[in-house]
Structure 1
């Protein structure tokens, strides 16, 4: 490493990756402890992130965290609350799709269990708030290599600069290069599926209702957006997904209509269509000395439960609390003892969610009549058990298990 022993700049925490999770961590740390020096290294231009036409499902716990970070009031006017959710299970050729499970959308009175928030609004809000608090950005740059020493980590950037940190946090995605450099192994398998993500316009209002249709190729989720619009997360076998995305809009809309149905009137494509390969990736460890994983770098799961980003926000809340508490106690924030607290807090919850989404995908993404009868019986049983439904809502809202302070709406 060039300049390895003569760092150009020194920070308490360096975050590699300026997506939602990396930016949220930088903001949470800087807001809780203004004396911390925090830097974010990210290769993507902000104008590209601000033009993202997609939307994300933000659970109630995550919205409480964003409120504590001072952003929720800015995001709420463009957000769409999810007031209700229905679950169906059918074959593509079925004329009628019976509803087996329904969820009311509130965790407390007036608080929906989730909102759909436009990515193009959330990313600039996080970036601007972090920058205003003093987070330093190494824009259009990449962390190429690093070396952890007894009291510091030395990070070499693509630009040639060398920076020093007491703690390096990798938030560089499911194919994390830094995770590999740290020697952290993963459990991984490919589902042979891809998720088609797009937006549709429809004739009738959705009334804030989300829909999850389990079809043989995989789940087909309709998620409400402001106005007569909905976001789609449409799972298909990878070859079929690639064919659909490459097809013309007329062909795509014909296939879309077969799955979407006619209950919201005439539909038309309202945005770009893209397909993303789906798999399960779980890091065997979340930490090494002076190094931690968060977000997709630690876990990539199937979108069947809509919990991917919300798991990342849980990582943020837990790691920020661990770091700030350690600082207040005069401890070394990059030490193995401190980072182990974060790992204990997050690894089991992540493993549990990974297993749940894997089992759900395998159970529902098939055309087996016997399995279908069993799962439909199970869905109907859950629908008749208010206590169990409440537990599912609590999980979907992000409140299951011991919650970090930020996710409970409390400052660190």
Structure 2
């Protein structure tokens, strides 16, 4: 039997979510012959992502920020409000982009729009090939990764970027284990129309069972993430549109007037995942193949885009040094580059989420004290803002903003 003919590339990116498309586009723009392998008819995704700081710098360098900005809403103020009703409560804190000399923290865009814009850019990039399909088998050799799709297409590449989600087939093939955990929470996600202009202010109500976040969208619209106990999230999701809008308006203390449901609602159980290594055997992990945590602080995709930035950085550095872009030394370079950032962000999000759930007075006191200090000490406020947008450590050069 004759073996199928393999198409040869420098880089194969498996998965075409936002992180995967960004990875394929950036690698192609960096001069690598790149292939993106994933089903192109993805399920409708009405969720939104706040693209912050370094992420916007990266997207601008990739030539897609202008198109994304036209579809999104800028975020000029981040407001935190404690509605836990506990004995010790944190003060209300407003963080303003102007405090660090910026016009905005970033933009909030629907995931569907992100996929549309990145997909159009990918289609227009000469040395980027897109293959519609699922990877069925993975063979990782000393010189090449060999990927076979369900339709029989065979792709060989020096480096395989796994952007194929939390159940990553490439991660499994590389023998990379994961640590997983769950939370006693689910997230209800939908978009609303609001009666009162949001004035580009993102408001995060901190409740006993998790955050309730109202993030601006274009016009008088907002995206909502409500983290609740699973049974309560399901109960809310089952309400009719009018009843759900009234309940969310009540929880928002009518801050933005009357609400109208403006999208399907989705419920996601909350869980966490961290890979034990971030690269091995010609595979580098991107996005949810590497890390998953609750939707707190808009860290998820922004962390994934830092994976993308370092993917390009270590591959370019290896090429300049005449090294194998998927070899052991380059994989070790990527693993070192991502370990500290992913570990720190995962720990911070986990601690922030669990602190809201805790009824222990010391935990409440520490949380309240931390936000009080952030509210009253300007240098600390500015440090928190800058580190939240573009971490000093863990940000690739391509994502660093020019001061």
Q: TM-score range by the shorter chain?
A: over 0.9
* C-alpha spacing 1:177/1:242, structure 2 compared with 1 (3 Å): farther
Q: 2:38 aligns with which of 38, 42, 52?
A: 42
Q: Does 1:133 align with 2:133?
A: no
Deviations 1:340-376 (A, max 9, x none): 1111111111011101111111101245566434422
> Quick check: 234-243 or 343-352, which moved more?
234-243
Instruction: Please show how residues 72-87 of structure 1 align to structure 2 within 5 Å.
Output: 72-87=65-80
> Quick check: 154-163 or 396-405, which moved more?
396-405
Normalised to the residue count of structure 1, the TM-score between the two structures is 0.91
Gaps of 5+ in 2: none
Q: CA deviation at 1:405?
A: 2.0
Contact 1:192 1:238 in 2 (8 A): yes
* C-alpha spacing 1:68/1:409, structure 2 compared with 1 (3 Å): farther
Tell me, in whole angstroms, the C-alpha distance in 1 between the residues paired with 2:225 and 2:392.
Answer: 24
Partner of 2:144: 152
Q: 2:350 aligns with which of 329, 350, 358?
A: 358
Contact 1:29 1:324 in 2 (8 A): no
Q: CA deviation at 1:107?
A: 6.8
Contact 2:10 2:159 in 1 (8 A): yes
Q: Does 1:394 align with 2:386?
A: yes
Contact 1:153 1:168 in 2 (8 A): yes
Q: Does 1:187 align with 2:199?
A: no
Tell me, in whole angstroms, the C-alpha distance in 2 between the residues paired with 1:391 and 1:93.
Answer: 28
Partner secondary structure for residue 248 of structure 2: helix
Tell me, in whole angstroms, the C-alpha distance in 2 between the residues paired with 1:126 and 1:355.
Answer: 30
Instruction: Please show how residues 368-383 of structure 1 align to structure 2 within 5 Å.
Output: 368=360, 371-383=363-375
* C-alpha spacing 1:137/1:192, structure 2 compared with 1 (3 Å): same
Normalised to the residue count of structure 2, the TM-score between the two structures is 0.93
> Quick check: 368-377 or 180-189, which moved more?
368-377
Partner of 1:241: 233
> Quick check: 109-118 or 126-135, which moved more?
109-118
Gaps of 5+ in 1: none
Instruction: Please show how residues 9-408 of structure 1 align to structure 2 within 5 Å.
Output: 9-33=7-31, 36-45=32-41, 48=43, 52-91=45-84, 99-106=91-98, 108-134=100-126, 135-139=128-132, 141-368=133-360, 371-408=363-400
Tell me, in whole angstroms, the C-alpha distance in 2 between the residues paired with 1:349 and 1:370.
Answer: 27
Q: CA deviation at 1:78?
A: 2.2
> Quick check: 387-396 or 174-183, which moved more?
174-183
Contact 2:212 2:224 in 1 (8 A): yes
For the aligned residue pairs, the C-alpha RMSD in angstroms reads 2.2
* C-alpha spacing 1:107/1:60, structure 2 compared with 1 (3 Å): farther
* C-alpha spacing 1:181/1:370, structure 2 compared with 1 (3 Å): same
Q: CA deviation at 1:92?
A: 6.6
Contact 1:291 1:334 in 2 (8 A): yes
Q: CA deviation at 1:168?
A: 1.2
Deviations 1:306-339 (A, max 9, x none): 1000000000001111112212222110101012
